[in-house]
Structure 1
């Protein structure tokens, strides 16, 4: 799951070391359009529903946070 997520992130925003970053939104590495693209891909690849309520910085600041969101939506 993590490798698939990293591929989605790298395709959306090339040149970022997503495994090392822990403030993707807070440091403005991910912008709103990037998040829209990433959420769309996550929905397709992982077959989960991401709601508007999920679109908060805490859920997208790191790979681990995004993985936790995916796992929570799969449950």
Structure 2
């Protein structure tokens, strides 16, 4: 799943080293439009529904955090 999330991030915002990023949102690596695109891609790829309540920096600041959020949403389904 980690590789898939990294591939999606690379599609949304090429030329960013997401694998080593520790503050993706806080450092401004993704802006609000990037987040919207990312959410759409994650929803489609993993057949989940990311809710507005999930749109907090803690869920998007690292690839690990994104993976954990996706896994949690898959488990809830």
Q: TM-score range by the shorter chain?
A: over 0.9
Which ranges in structure 2 are unaligned for 5 or more consecutive residues? Answer: none
**How far does the alpha carbon of each residue in 1:5-64 deviate from its partner, in whole angstroms, 9 at most, with x for none?**
111000100011111001000001110000000000000000011000000000000100
C-alpha RMSD of the superposition: 0.5
- SS of structure 1 residue aligned to 2:24: coil
Matched residue count: 75
Q: Runs in 1 of length 4+ with deviation above 6 angstroms?
A: none
**Counterpart position of 2:71:** 71
User: How far off its partner does 1:3 sit?
Assistant: 1.1
TM-score, normalised to structure 2, is 0.95
